[in-house]
Structure 1
Amino acid sequence: YYSHKPNGSPAYFKYPGLKPTGPLPASVDFPLYPQKEPDKFRAVIFADPQPRDNKEVEFVGHDVIEELIGVDAAFGVSLGDIAFDNLNTFATLNQKIALIGIPWYNVIGNHDLNQDSPDDQRSDETFEATYGPNYYSFDYGPTHFMVLDDMKWVAPAPGAAKGFFLGEFGKTQLEWIKNDLAQIPRNQMVVLMMHVPLVDEEGKFSPTGNRVTDRRDLYRLIEKRPFCLSISGHTHYQEHKFISSADGWEGPEKHHHVVNVTVSGSWWSGLPDEKGIPHTTMRDGAPNGYSFLNFDGNKYSIDFKAARRPAEHQMNIYAPDEVLAAETGKVEVVVNVFGGSEKSKVEMKVGAGEWTPLRHEPRIDPYYALLKERETVMLGAKKRLDPVLGYALPVAVPSAHLWVTNLPLNLPLGTHNIQIRTVDTFGRTYTDQRVVRVVETLAVPKAAPAVEAKPVL
């Protein structure tokens, strides 16, 4: 690629941008090399690695990159918020990601903008100096990928301390999208990759909602394509959205938009684990991690991958340890299927009983609520526990992938195995289980005896 900036970026930028390129050259030449690309392949999808500093770059390395080194994938993509306003972390994070050993593409996010910029046009020049153009397209095998910039930077008004961003493609980029897609057959798979989701429920992420303001102009360009997927990050929760006429979509089928799991989870917050890495559970109760996008011609599927967990870890099952025999039918079982959607099917079986369906019921994840409650006892009103214990978890949001049911009536005394089975929108089945004990009376925990503090030698 070639970035044409005759005068370069402003010299006063805290994070350097592009150096002066001088006049436009007579030609811009680059080589092309033949490469065999199969119809069947997969890509690694990161959203929001978002390290504040190099210490958190190390979190990214230990939490997700180490397990991906040598992965069998065609390429990877970061869906924006590669940094967390500290653009010096681009270089150290790039060195970590390079160890994975596959080509890597990058989408610009709001925390990747140069906030010294006086306008939107120059706000991406530090990003461009590191990663190249802010929007472009490429093909791999039979699939057409479009890296999009839905960030509009609004510089601070006179007297204002900070600027802000809007989710917007803008007329110039939309014209480019139109021209690019004009060269792509309608029966070819197209994947749109961006940072801010096309749609987001008002008040779920911010008081005014976070969405792309000119998304309906994009809809007009893609809604007649039978094979089109879009994917974003930004919100720090996982969700499959199926965009319909309720949002102005005019296509014959709903459009599938994926809000991807984030590498940083809840912004690298929460208590550290035994390796010193924050548990950083996302605020919908799902673990932090990344996705695999799998392609086979015009077909695709998506795998949720929790950081440092087996690939089979696809859900959490919430039920109390002990249940009174007289109240089993009143006790809820709540299942968080991390990659679940409104098209998922979730069922439960207790012991040798029958499989029964659960109802889809978005609400606050109970495990996350308990985490937040325990933390609040330790933290009070502070945002940060302390330099050792890390940042406070953010406020929970209703999880779009919770299913609920009740235990069967009249379970006999003893220990029972709760089995959960889910079939996702791609027809794949996952299972998990949790043990519960039915008792006549609940055990009352005894107060811990006082222990005299002694120095550790």
Structure 2
Amino acid sequence: MGRSSLTKLLVVLLLVSSGQTYGRAESITAKESQTATGYVFYDANNNRQRDAGEQGLACVRVSNGREVVCTDENGLYQLPVTGDTILFVIKPQGWRTPLSKNLTPEFYYIHKPNGSPKSKYAGVKPTGPLPASVDFPLYPQKEPAEFRAIFFGDPQPRDQKEIDYIAHDVIEDLIGTDASFGVTLGDILFNDLSLFQSQARGIALLGIPWYNVIGNHDINFDAPNDKLSDETFEREYGPAYYSFDYGTVHFITLDDVEWTVSEKDKKGKYQGGLGIEQMEFIRNDLKQIPEDQLVVLMMHIPLVNVNDRQELYRLIEKRPFCMSISGHTHHHEHRFITKADGWRGPKPHHHIINVTVCGSWWSGTPDERGIPHTVMADGAPNGYSIIRFDGKEYNLDFRAAGRSEKYQMNIMVPEEVAANQLVETDVIVNVFNGSERSKVAMLIGAVGTWVPMEFRPGIDPGFKKLSETENSVKDKKYRSMPNAKKSTHLWHAKLPAGLKPGTHLLRVRTVEMDGDKHQSGRVIRVVPARPDEKTTATGVTEK
């Protein structure tokens, strides 16, 4: 046996003994490098094949998940590949990629000659030898500078019944949307990866391209390492991290779910992380993006919970136009990342933790449709976001599932207040899309002065009362709600003195950080004085 063969044998034995082997599918071939060659071209006859005379497209970026290269004047590119590589085109402005029957973009070629290793949920079938030319068809489309995109956080259905919840609670209201595309920010499912197709079929009814971020409930839990945890996701959607342009915006989809397996007890767990290869891709990708172009990072685990975020910060903190968005925590929040988190940029980084479609995991009492109300633990309803992009600017609209788009806040104040207890009675407002940069004020009656309310994050008393009441029911037929968690969008004030007994309209208005204005109201009754009584914002009378 020669030295080269002996070295390969030793490597295989080491991989097997450490549990890092891909099984028969991986072996040494995954480490042996080849060169992939191909063209990015205008598929004029829409047959997904490069035919004679079809134009190659110059200056289109292509990646192998590490390097990023641009096609030459003929549309030609070359990239190194191993026995486990996904090649993908970075969709340029003004072009679209092919779409699957479920309208998920097909912008990639999977090279796994021996396929994925065996697991509970199937991965990729063997793809065979590397083709002589790996080509990527593109099709021209109009992409205005101003457009809208839909963002779903954590639909997270356990079964078909909960996929049906999503259809009735969210999808039906979005039919006919003018959004250009949509994104699910991870936890597409809740562990049962056999449901990917069913979930995608429902979302496809919206009629727009739909991108997907991998979440911690979308991975293979029987995988021996992080590299193999994405195999089923890759079969359905391609690479777990990639990028694309739409309009003048550059979007980067990140895989920030790292799967680790203990050598001692072989138990797996996830953590927030990006890893060396992905960081190399991000670095090479951003090198080709002008600093004055808006960059949007899309991920599942919030950026502040990613272990190697500091390295990512160094890549984006000097960019004047960059924001990020995630899901995972099942509440809605605008985070402003500052020096306290190691950020060194000239101004805080805006990170959005998006409202979740499943709210609090489809918990709580069912409504008249049989769908749980599933209010999130910060007191906000389940739903989704629509972000309007316009050049370097963006504007997020919060949408509550099954509600009017005007439903933007919950005003908590007693139904009835004694005249002598007005100045001791709390008004608490949960502005669902609010942040520390919002301005909230209240007014009672048709005329008068708007009184600023105090921004005071904390527990939403309405949610706390709701969850405690519902969870105390014995033999309940619905899933228990989570405990209340700190809400970052609460405002407080006291009722003004001097209100006469009678029925009054309390109005609340908010001006959000992006200039959006919303107003809502609540009717209260003032009754004659009742000595020795105090009424809380949730209507509890204390003597």
TM-score by length of 2: 0.76
The aligned residue for residue 255 of structure 1 is: 349
Question: Which one-letter code corresponds to 1:90 in the other structure?
Answer: F
Deviation at residue 376 of structure 1 after TM alignment? 2.7
The aligned residue for residue 8 of structure 2 is: none
Q: Deviations over 1:328-349 (max 9, x none)?
A: 0000000000000110000001
Q: Deviations over 1:57-110 (max 9, x none)?
A: 000000000111120010000000001011112111101000010000000000
Q: Deviations over 1:116-149 (max 9, x none)?
A: 1011000001001011110000000111000100
The aligned residue for residue 148 of structure 2 is: 42
Unaligned segments of structure 1, at least 5 residues: 200-210, 380-384, 444-457
The aligned residue for residue 206 of structure 2 is: 100
Q: Secondary structure at the match of 2:137?
A: coil
Q: Check whether the contact 1:157–1:163 (CA below 8 A) recurs between aligned residues.
A: no
Structure 1 distance, partners of 2:175, 2:296, is 25
Question: Which one-letter code corresponds to 2:345 in the other structure?
Answer: G
Question: Which one-letter code corresponds to 2:188 in the other structure?
Answer: I
Deviation at residue 353 of structure 1 after TM alignment? 3.0
Q: Would you say 1:187 and 2:292 are equivalent positions? A: yes
Q: Secondary structure at the match of 1:15?
A: coil
Aligned pairs for 1:70-149 (under 5 A) are: 70-149=176-255
Between structure 1 and structure 2, the one with the greater Rg is: 2
Question: Which one-letter code corresponds to 1:397 in the other structure?
Answer: K
Q: Which of residues 175, 200, 203 is equivalent to 2:280?
A: 175
Q: Which of residues 371, 377, 387 is equivalent to 2:472?
A: 377
Q: Check whether the contact 1:52–1:84 (CA below 8 A) recurs between aligned residues.
A: yes
The aligned residue for residue 447 of structure 1 is: none
Structure 2 distance, partners of 1:248, 1:158, is 34
Structure 2 distance, partners of 1:156, 1:374, is 41
Q: Which of residues 303, 319, 331 is equivalent to 2:425?
A: 331
Q: Would you say 1:354 and 2:449 are equivalent positions? A: yes
Q: Check whether the contact 1:238–1:261 (CA below 8 A) recurs between aligned residues.
A: yes
The aligned residue for residue 303 of structure 2 is: 198
The aligned residue for residue 404 of structure 1 is: 492
Q: Deviations over 1:204-252 (max 9, x none)?
A: xxxxxxx101111101000111110100000000000111111111111
Structure 2 distance, partners of 1:80, 1:191, is 16
Aligned pairs for 1:166-315 (under 5 A) are: 166-199=271-304, 211-315=305-409
Deviation at residue 410 of structure 1 after TM alignment? 2.9
Q: Deviations over 1:267-294 (max 9, x none)?
A: 0001000000000001100000000010
The aligned residue for residue 460 of structure 2 is: 365
Deviation at residue 155 of structure 1 after TM alignment? 2.4
Structure 2 distance, partners of 1:34, 1:58, is 35
Q: Secondary structure at the match of 2:240?
A: coil
Q: Which of residues 110, 116, 122 is equivalent to 1:9?
A: 116
Structure 1 distance, partners of 2:482, 2:408, is 23
Matched positions, count:
423
Question: Which one-letter code corresponds to 2:421 in the other structure?
Answer: E
Structure 2 distance, partners of 1:373, 1:102, is 40
Q: Secondary structure at the match of 1:230?
A: strand
The aligned residue for residue 516 of structure 2 is: 428
Q: Check whether the contact 1:268–1:279 (CA below 8 A) recurs between aligned residues.
A: yes
Q: Deviations over 1:405-446 (max 9, x none)?
A: 000123211111111010000111100000111112679xxx
Q: Would you say 1:317 and 2:411 are equivalent positions? A: yes
Structure 1 distance, partners of 2:518, 2:187, is 31
Structure 2 distance, partners of 1:276, 1:78, is 24
Structure 1 distance, partners of 2:176, 2:508, is 33
Q: Would you say 1:52 and 2:158 are equivalent positions? A: yes
Structure 1 distance, partners of 2:440, 2:408, is 12
Question: Which one-letter code corresponds to 1:302 in the other structure?
Answer: L
Question: Which one-letter code corresponds to 1:269 in the other structure?
Answer: S
Q: Secondary structure at the match of 2:172?
A: helix
TM-score by length of 1: 0.91
Question: Which one-letter code corresponds to 2:433 in the other structure?
Answer: G
Cα RMSD over matched residues? 1.3
Q: Check whether the contact 2:421–2:529 (CA below 8 A) recurs between aligned residues.
A: no
The aligned residue for residue 450 of structure 1 is: none
Q: Secondary structure at the match of 2:167?
A: helix
Structure 1 distance, partners of 2:238, 2:144, is 26
Deviation at residue 158 of structure 1 after TM alignment? 4.4
The alignment-based identity, stated in percent, is 59
Instruction: Kindly indicate whether structure 1 or structure 2 has the higher relative contact order, using CA contacts under 8 Å at least 6 residues apart.
Output: 1
Deviation at residue 156 of structure 1 after TM alignment? 4.9
